């Protein structure tokens, strides 16, 4: 109750500060002007006596100032004539003092929530604490690695975190350190290639390609290496080689492989059909469309693919929680070289999946891998 009383006093003080001038008697018009004109007459006389102006000029100036002086004297209003205006101003101030706080209070009681309890401090600081804890953990690991740069476990922990946070250059350095400590390893080489690709905004550079080739040489079944080698071939314009790499990858894929759908979509983008064993599970063109695509020239095939991508985008407007659909759309735009559309689609996907942390993490991983951070 005391708080409301204080608020009322503050409101009243603010209103008085604004309306107080309305309650004061206005200056009678012409009073100050008379004084000014009389000073001007004296000044003309001084200038004439000092020889600054001639007699004729002094007479002309005196006549003009005298005319203005007489007009100002005639315009002076009696004090009694100002009283009705003063009364109206005071009534306006009183009305404002009473009605403004009453109206504001009524509006707040109707639209506000005066009885709603405040959100607990712990809830408000939850996200801040989470971010602080992640940053603190990273700082602790980095400080530890400065003291113990040969700690393999520390580099293994920090490298994937750098990738998730979009710190791709740091991820590259961490993967190189792991390789230096443990020697050539298919997984480490594949992770290094992925980090190099992400750092280059989704382009498989020569260094990244070399890392994937080393990984594939050490382990022919290394999925990440094979997929990115196919992407490298596609970016080099060798779609047949890309299709061959991805088809071989699908042929050896287990039925429930989580990455199989991504590879199928990649095959579709280069106009190739997935292997028969998994073709029935892959959404996209039917057998007739694939047959037609094989007979098309490059321009017609690209146009058909663009149409398929547009239909996928329309479908996602109706079923926005399809995380695999969003992943396919992002990769399709990247393959088509439509980066602006890919970035916009990434933003739409984040908004659509914001309510599902698991799906949001999945789409964030793809966004970072493709280098689509806005």
Q: pLDDT tens digits for 17-64?
A: 666 665 555 544 445 566 676 777 788 788 777 777 777 777 777 777
Which segment of 3-7, 180-184, 288-292, 341-345 scores lowest on mean pLDDT? 288-292
Digit-coded pLDDT (tens) for 255-303: 667 888 888 888 888 877 676 443 333 344 444 454 455 555 666 666 7
DSSP SS3 for 354: coil
pTM over 0.85: no
Specify burial of residue 21 (Cβ count, 10 A radius: 0-12, 13-18, 19+): exposed
Q: Which CATH code for domain 126-237?
A: 1.25.40.10
Q: Token pair 């003063």 is at which residue?
A: 86
Q: Token pair 């061959």 is at which residue?
A: 244
**Domain spans of the chain, in order of start:** 2-111, 126-237
Tally: H helices and E strands in the chain: 19, 0
CA gap 314, 219 in Å, rounded: 40
pLDDT band at 153 (very low <50, low <70, confident <90, very high): confident
Q: 164 CB contacts (<8 Å, ≥6 apart)?
A: 364, 365, 368
- Proportion of the chain above pLDDT 70, given as a percent: 66
| pLDDT in the model for residue 247 | 85
């Amino acid at each position: 109750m005391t708080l409301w009383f204080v608020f009322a006093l503050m409101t009243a003080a603010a209103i008085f500060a604004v309306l107080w001038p309305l309650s004061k008697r206005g200056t009678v018009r012409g009073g100050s002007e008379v004084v000014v004109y009389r000073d001007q007459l004296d000044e003309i006389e001084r200038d004439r006596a000092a020889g600054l102006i001639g007699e004729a000029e002094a007479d002309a100036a005196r006549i003009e100032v005298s005319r203005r002086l007489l007009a100002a004297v005639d315009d002076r209003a009696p004090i009694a004539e100002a009283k009705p205006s003063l009364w109206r101003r005071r009534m306006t101030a009183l009305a404002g003092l009473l009605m403004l706080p009453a109206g504001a209070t009524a509006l707040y009681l109707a639209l506000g929530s005066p009885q709603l309890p405040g959100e607990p401090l712990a809830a408000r600081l939850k996200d801040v604490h989470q971010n602080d804890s992640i940053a603190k953990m990273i700082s602790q690991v980095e400080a530890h690695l400065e003291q113990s740069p040969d700690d393999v476990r520390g580099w293994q922990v920090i490298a994937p975190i750098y990738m998730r946070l979009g710190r791709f250059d740091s991820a590259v350095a961490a993967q190189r350190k792991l390789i230096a400590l443990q020697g050539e390893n298919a997984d480490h080489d594949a992770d290094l290639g992925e980090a190099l690709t992400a750092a280059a905004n989704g382009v498989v550079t020569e260094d990244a390609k070399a890392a994937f080739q080393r990984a594939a040489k050490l382990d022919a079944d290394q999925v990440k290496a094979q997929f990115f080698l196919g992407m490298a071939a596609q970016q080099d314009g060798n779609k047949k080689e890309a299709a061959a790499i991805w088809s071989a990858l699908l042929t050896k894929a287990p039925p429930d492989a989580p990455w199989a759908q991504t590879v199928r979509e990649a095959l579709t983008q280069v106009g190739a059909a997935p292997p028969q064993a998994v073709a029935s599970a892959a959404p996209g063109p039917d057998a007739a469309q694939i047959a037609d695509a094989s007979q098309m020239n490059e321009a017609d095939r690209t146009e058909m693919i663009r149409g398929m991508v547009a239909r996928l985008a329309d479908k996602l407007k109706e079923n926005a929680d399809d995380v695999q659909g969003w992943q396919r759309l992002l990769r399709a735009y990247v393959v088509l070289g439509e980066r602006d559309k890919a970035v916009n689609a990434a933003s739409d996907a984040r908004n659509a999946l914001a309510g599902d942390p698991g799906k949001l993490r999945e789409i964030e991983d793809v966004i970072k891998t493709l280098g689509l951070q806005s």
